[in-house]
Chain A
């Protein structure tokens, strides 16, 4: 061991004397003494046996978190132990995060699930300890140094239950990592813990069903190509009715310049479809040479919430399709985790995408050098560039009926550092944009509370708790500026924020950024617009309204 390493006695003392993160009524307890409790509203249904069989995942069976016996496979301890060992070798970040935490507590009150529930096991430091305590006990090198430290414990079925509960009360949002002086990313610890749980068949149907569907037909809902096309064409009809303009999307067209991929929530979800209408109007407005694939019909990648291998497989599909269609580059729609995967993992996972070209906007000539490795450009960035170069004819008064605020999606803001572009676009397409309090936006944004595949109906109470800090910040701007529109650039947000708003802030509706772009775009030859894309009346006469931005 290095002569600079701290001595054993020194280390042991440091750990033993560290204050417990628990305060107040819990100060004299250890976190592992607090029992795990499953009741209605605090657990997600497990994966169905047929779903697991379809994707070759282990231990398919019927079970529920409230069962006494979870029917874990024989030798499950060894499976977890070996699985952890393998991942410690594979992911240096995991080992670093498990070893480096000094339990300073800076992250403790930064997690929205802790802030919404007051449950100490939702403090990121303790969430990581759930895995770390087993790691300490099971791994000899660490054991040698820390044996006797009370923070190590044996892997029991109770521990598995606890992992299942708390690693699905983490939305992998990374807010805690922003505040950690060492940059420890608890989200990555959660990702590994979920992978380990999947090895023994402890899982979540709301994640695995979309994974299986995506694996089979290319999108989360398992919609087949003809229905996918049909749905987009029904949006084309709606656009024609509203604006008099016929847009012409093409599907699977070889040789198109750009492949456009968006989450299927934009094609099948309400209010996502209005965002899709916005994209279609925009592409028509600028005469973009693009095509949509019915094979890569999903931008989302629930593999991120399952296993590294599954994430890789689902991500690869987009690139296979880009290669097959011989496009130059990929334009990606408003999505959260698709971008986390592309931005953080794609280049080393499936890259380099040499068969594509470094993206250049055909309209402005801007080179997106930041996308040199992935060859994929975010639509907010693409549109911001168009606006900056004066390429769009916009009438922001057409959004005067909306008093907006902007929710930074965790994956786009913290996951890829995109903070300004959506704001730039929003300011150009509406007259009332009001920021939420500073400690709840940009890289400090609060999660919607239902990300990372826990958007299950049966989990509603927990989602309302986890989403409360976000909702509370919206309440502030609702009160101060009469905000009635929460704008976001993530399809999961468009699915999760509407119920969150209906519970905590009735009267605030959720919009995609490009829905507002679609409202504001002045199309050549359009019929006079009186209704927005939702067929709600526009307040065009409202010019001169104060700008609160």
Chain B
């Protein structure tokens, strides 16, 4: 029988969310407090992922992006940041009833982790794009004055 992971998570959301958030905040050199802007934004992203775990893929992706965007500008290795997603699988697994189908959970967590990897890279690329754009726009304004 296919387990309804969305329902399993929904019933345990607060506990999962709290542990997941604390693990993410602990990645920073000095553990970030939950009331900080980073804490707030992570909470929102994580909440979106949990609320749409098996449902609205777009909203789930938005949540994943919210998390990936924060970590893409931090100096940690990508593997450290991305380890948060397998960790989510463990947190959910621990709290799920024994009868739940863990294969389905694993597959979903894998998909989420891969998506997080894509988003992480997209955000890294965005940073490089911003660097180029900044240089280019300075040049554009200089040219504007010499050619007009």
Query: A residues bordering B, Cβ < 8 Å?
Result: 22-26, 34, 37, 39, 41-42, 109, 114-120, 123, 221, 223, 227, 230-231, 234, 237, 268-270, 273, 457-458, 460-461, 464-465, 468-469, 472-473, 475, 499, 502-504
Contact = CB atoms under 8 A, between A and B. Distances in A.
Contact of B40 (A39, A268, A461, A472): A472
Nearest to B41: A472
A503 B144 contact: no
Interface of B: 26, 28-33, 36-38, 40-41, 69-70, 73-75, 123, 126-127, 130-131, 133-135, 137-138, 140-142, 144-146, 148
Given A234-B145, A268-B141, A120 B41 contact: no
B62 to A, nearest CB: 12
Given A472-B40, A502-B130, A119 B141 contact: no
**4 tightest Cβ-Cβ pairs between the two chains A and B:** A118-B28, A24-B31, A472-B37, A231-B145
B88 to A, nearest CB: 21
A506 to B, nearest CB: 9
Contacts of A119: 28-30
B37 A473 contact: yes
A118 B75 contact: no
Contacts, number: 102
Contacts of B37: 115-116, 468-469, 472-473
A138 B121 CA distance: 47
Nearest to B137: A270
Given A227-B146, A234-B148, A270-B140, A457 B135 contact: yes
A26 B135 CA distance: 39
A230 B73 contact: no
Contacts of A227: 145-146
12 contacts: A24-B26, A25-B26, A115-B38, A116-B38, A117-B74, A120-B30, A231-B144, A457-B134, A460-B127, A502-B126, A503-B73, A503-B127
B73 A118 contact: no
A26 B29 contact: yes
A118 B75 CA distance: 11
Contacts of A457: 131, 134-135
B140 A230 contact: no
Contacts of A273: 141
